[in-house]
Amino acid sequence: DGGITQSPKYLFRKEGQNVTLSCEQNLNHDAMYWYRQDPGQGLRLIYYSQIVNDFQKGDIAEGYSVSREKKESFPLTVTSAQKNPTAFYLCASSTNQGRTEAFFGQGTRLTVV
């Protein structure tokens, strides 16, 4: 079955450490996205990539970094520069044709301890 896989589902990090969240899709989608969701809040776009080897900052990119070396993969690194990293992180993908739906992973809940 095609879909998006995020791992791990739960992640704990000590303050000052970088951590990388995995996102893999087998939908053959060109575009991929990372969102942050805080409790009781909506989605905020962190980074997006329209095509391999290219990505753009979203609304809240500070303290995060990404890479897009393969079409299937779009990992997100939460760096120590991110002051408040505890949140629910969602990865999504879509075609880049417009007017089509996005497909989401199950999310990774990151907690800083």
Binding interface with another protein (CB under 8 A): 4, 6, 31, 33, 40-43, 45, 48, 50, 90, 92, 94-107, 109
Q: Specify the amino acid at residue 107.
A: G
β-bridge partners, 24: 5, 73
Per-residue DSSP letter, 50: E
Shortest spacing between CB 55 and another protein, in angstroms: 13
Shortest spacing between CB 31 and another protein, in angstroms: 5
> Which residue's CB is nearer to another protein, number 80 or number 107?
107
d(CA 105, CA 31): 14
d(CA 4, CA 107): 10
> Which residue's CB is nearer to another protein, number 83 or number 99?
99
Per-residue DSSP letter, 73: B
Shortest spacing between CB 24 and another protein, in angstroms: 14
